[in-house]
Chain A
Amino acid sequence: MTTETQVHVSLVVNGTRREVDVPARRLLSDVLRHDLGLTGTHVGCEHGVCGACTVLVDGAPMRSCLLFAVSVDGAEVTTIEGCCAADGSLGPVQAAFRDCHALQCGFCTPGFVTTVTAYLRENRAPTEAEAREAISGNLCRCTGYQNIVAAVLKSAEATVSEPANGDPA
């Protein structure tokens, strides 16, 4: 059996251009984690249900376990690492998760943070019901979601008062 053909993939990840040569079947989640060393994006199921692998592709949340890296060649990708503020401190969504005890084991958290970051750009002041609905595509086994809903609402307050900060590059 011959060695697999590699394809060249070029992405802008968290504001930096990254280039890799990988097999076409390599999932974006694996490229991010293992080829680019950005292990903040986690893999919980590899069939698109749990959402732990959610990243932003050209600003829209997508399951990185359901994307071949080559298929998003050229895209801008934002991972959990890119949700920090420009100076490396916690962004408003991350800070809200910490303040509201919205994480326990932290494994699902990156998928929530990216999803919520994108959501709040479009919905600056969600109601509690809207906040709950916004996070109802991501699984968490630890928190029972209560504090995650609270964190969404708290992030909304913070983002509204500081619109420029926390925007990933």
Chain B
Amino acid sequence: MKPSPFTYHRPASVGEAVATLAGLGGSGKVLAGGQSLVPLMSMRLSAPDHLIDINGLAELDMVEVTDGTVRIGAGARQARVERDPAVREAVPLLGQALANVAHPTIRNRGTVVGSLVHADPSAELPAVLLLLGGTMELRFPDGVREVAAADFFLGPMSTAVRPGELAVAARFPRQPAGSGSAFVEVSRRHGDFALCGVAAVAVTDPDGAITSARVALVGVGGTAVVVDVTPAVRGSGGDLDPSARDGLVDGHVDPEGDIHATADYRRQLARVLTGRALEQAVVGARNGGRRR
């Protein structure tokens, strides 16, 4: 299982990388972490003629945490982002999701942006970007454009990145003050792709009543799916009514069966894990949540 030959490019700057990519039309593939790409190449399921290696670009190897956003450059490794205390404070959901991504050894090399661009329907990070309403920064020779998460993921393994464009960063808005978040998933083995995964963010008022409950589900369709579960909040205590919650989830998921799990089982997981993720998120919110 050895990759086919390719022409290797190691641009010295982001500008050069973008120019090279654009010049190659669609026949250039970006090599960042490579944890998804290299196995495909070794199996010869992918055989790009050109590989543009962006690993050395210092400009992309950054994590910026500002008042409003966490901006993660295309070179930033998942492990680094997972450990970054400023990221953990601003967008705790990222660290919670990353803990479920493959294994630590993979995360030492894989990148956050790479996972987003790869857009596997069972991947955790696209759900986080969607749920938090993040954006992707795409550079092309003449400039930069930002694409909202909702417009970025088009289908399984398919995104809005055009041939010749380079995704240079992902932006995650800070989670709201007083919110709690959680990421829960079920996989066959530790570190495997999720059969179903749920990212949840909940906001409660000072009395603990839920004012917002939103989830993004993974493994239940061609892309991650966002569901606003707030309408299922009932009663004076401001809690979620389980059957209303389940109904909302059911209405939004369309999972497929495969050798690991049936569609019906994934539906069951979608309901159960939404409940669990929101429960954890609500507890987090009620315990003070993410402080400003």
B2 to chain A, nearest CB (A): 7
For the complex, is A85 an interface residue (Cβ under 8 Å from B)? no
- Sorting the interface of chain A by its residue count into under 10, 10 to 19, 20 to 34 or 35 or more gives 20 to 34
Q: Are A67 and B5 in contact (CB under 8 A)?
A: no
Cα distance, A119 to B114, chains bound together (Å)? 25
Cα distance, A106 to B276, chains bound together (Å)? 41
Q: In chain B, residues 1-53, which have Cβ atoms closer than 8 Å to a Cβ of chain A? A: 1-8, 10, 31, 34-35, 38-39, 41-43, 51, 53
Cα distance, A162 to B1, chains bound together (Å)? 42
Q: Are B34 and A67 in contact (CB under 8 A)?
A: yes
Q: Are B8 and A67 in contact (CB under 8 A)?
A: no
Q: Are B38 and A48 in contact (CB under 8 A)?
A: yes
Q: Are B38 and A61 in contact (CB under 8 A)?
A: no
- B residues less than 8 Å from A68 (CB atoms): 8, 31, 34, 38, 51, 53
Q: From A21-29, A86-94, A96-104, A150-158, give the one contacting chain B.
A: A21-29
Do A27 and B39 contact each other (CB < 8 Å), given the known contacts A48-B106, A60-B79, A70-B8? no
Task: Determine the main DSSP class of B at the interface with A.
Answer: loop
For the complex, is B243 an interface residue (Cβ under 8 Å from A)? no
Cα distance, A54 to B4, chains bound together (Å)? 23
For the complex, is A81 an interface residue (Cβ under 8 Å from B)? no
B5, B38, B43, B106: the one within 8 Å of A137 (CB): B106
Q: Are B34 and A61 in contact (CB under 8 A)?
A: no
For the complex, is B262 an interface residue (Cβ under 8 Å from A)? no
- A residues less than 8 Å from B42 (CB atoms): 27, 46-47, 65
For the complex, is B291 an interface residue (Cβ under 8 Å from A)? no
- A residues less than 8 Å from B7 (CB atoms): 5, 24
Cα distance, A23 to B253, chains bound together (Å)? 46
Q: Are B6 and A25 in contact (CB under 8 A)?
A: yes
Q: Are A136 and B190 in contact (CB under 8 A)?
A: yes
For the complex, is B105 an interface residue (Cβ under 8 Å from A)? yes
For the complex, is A42 an interface residue (Cβ under 8 Å from B)? no
For the complex, is B162 an interface residue (Cβ under 8 Å from A)? no
For the complex, is B287 an interface residue (Cβ under 8 Å from A)? no
A25, A51, A62: the one within 8 Å of B4 (CB): A25
Q: Are B34 and A137 in contact (CB under 8 A)?
A: no
Name the residue on A nearest B80 (C-beta): A60
- A residues less than 8 Å from B66 (CB atoms): none
Q: Are B8 and A137 in contact (CB under 8 A)?
A: no
Do A66 and B5 contact each other (CB < 8 Å), given the known contacts A60-B79, A60-B108? no
For the complex, is B231 an interface residue (Cβ under 8 Å from A)? no
Encode contact with B along A126-162: 1 for CB under 8 Å, 0 otherwise: 0000000100110000000000000000000000000
B38 to chain A, nearest CB (A): 5
Residue with the highest number of chain A CB atoms closer than 10 Å, among B2, B102, B104, B191: B104
Q: Are B105 and A24 in contact (CB under 8 A)?
A: no
Q: Are A46 and B34 in contact (CB under 8 A)?
A: no
Cα distance, A15 to B265, chains bound together (Å)? 51
Q: Are A71 and B105 in contact (CB under 8 A)?
A: no
A141 to chain B, nearest CB (A): 14
- B residues less than 8 Å from A61 (CB atoms): 104-105, 108
B5, B55, B103: the one within 8 Å of A71 (CB): B55
Q: Are A71 and B31 in contact (CB under 8 A)?
A: yes
Residue with the highest number of chain A CB atoms closer than 10 Å, among B2, B51, B109: B109
Q: Are A7 and B8 in contact (CB under 8 A)?
A: yes
A135 to chain B, nearest CB (A): 10
Name the residue on B nearest A132 (C-beta): B190
Do A48 and B35 contact each other (CB < 8 Å), given the known contacts A60-B79, A67-B109? yes
Do A115 and B105 contact each other (CB < 8 Å), given the known contacts A24-B51, A48-B38? yes
Do A46 and B1 contact each other (CB < 8 Å), given the known contacts A65-B42, A71-B55? yes
Listed A/B pairs (5) with beta-carbon separation below 8 Å: A4-B5, A46-B2, A48-B35, A63-B105, A70-B8
A-B complex: 8 closest residue pairs judged by Cβ atoms: A137-B103, A24-B8, A47-B39, A60-B108, A46-B1, A66-B38, A61-B105, A25-B3
Instruction: Kindly list 16 other residue pairs between chains A and B, CB separation below 8 angstroms, not including A66-B39, A71-B31.
Output: A23-B5, A24-B5, A24-B8, A24-B51, A25-B6, A27-B2, A46-B42, A47-B43, A51-B103, A62-B105, A63-B109, A66-B106, A68-B51, A68-B53, A71-B53, A133-B190
